[in-house]
């Protein structure tokens, strides 16, 4: 297998993440899609870092993305819990009326 298998894997994971974000109505499924997009970026960072082993930029940026993704997930899950307690659903269509009239 050539080196392009990593780019194809990254493109597949990115496409799956974007498809989840655009097609799902459940907040948790959208969050999983965002995490897949972050993981696709990490695959690219690590792959391109392997092309230049004397530099550690790709590994550093991958760790930064993992840290940001963990913080984003914790914050998003807290928001989801609050929305569920308020609206008793995680469906995005039913939560769209957030502003009181």
**pLDDT tens-digit series, residues 38-55:** 999 999 999 988 888 888
Weakest mean pLDDT among 17-21, 28-32, 70-74, 85-89 = 85-89
Kindly report, residue by residue over 51-65, the tens digit of the pLDDT. Answer: 888 888 888 999 999
Q: Is the pLDDT of residue 99 over 60?
A: no
Q: What angle is formed at CA 15 by the lines to CA 12 and CA 20, rounded to 5 degrees?
A: 125
pTM score: 0.83
Distance CA 13, CA 7 (A): 10
Burial of residue 88 (number of CB atoms within 10 Å: 0-12, 13-18, 19+): exposed
Which tens digits make up the pLDDT trace of 73-94?
A: 999 999 889 888 888 888 877 7
């Amino acid at each position: 297998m050539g080196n392009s298998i990593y780019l194809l894997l990254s493109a597949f994971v990115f496409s799956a993440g974007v498809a989840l974000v655009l097609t799902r109505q459940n907040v948790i499924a959208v969050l999983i899609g965002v995490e897949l997009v972050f993981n696709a970026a990490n695959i690219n960072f690590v792959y391109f870092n392997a092309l230049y082993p004397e530099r550690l930029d790709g590994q550093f940026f991958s760790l930064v993305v993992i840290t940001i993704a963990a913080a984003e997930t914790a914050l998003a899950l807290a928001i989801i819990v609050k929305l569920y307690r308020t609206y008793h659903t995680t469906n995005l269509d039913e939560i769209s009326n957030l502003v009181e009239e």
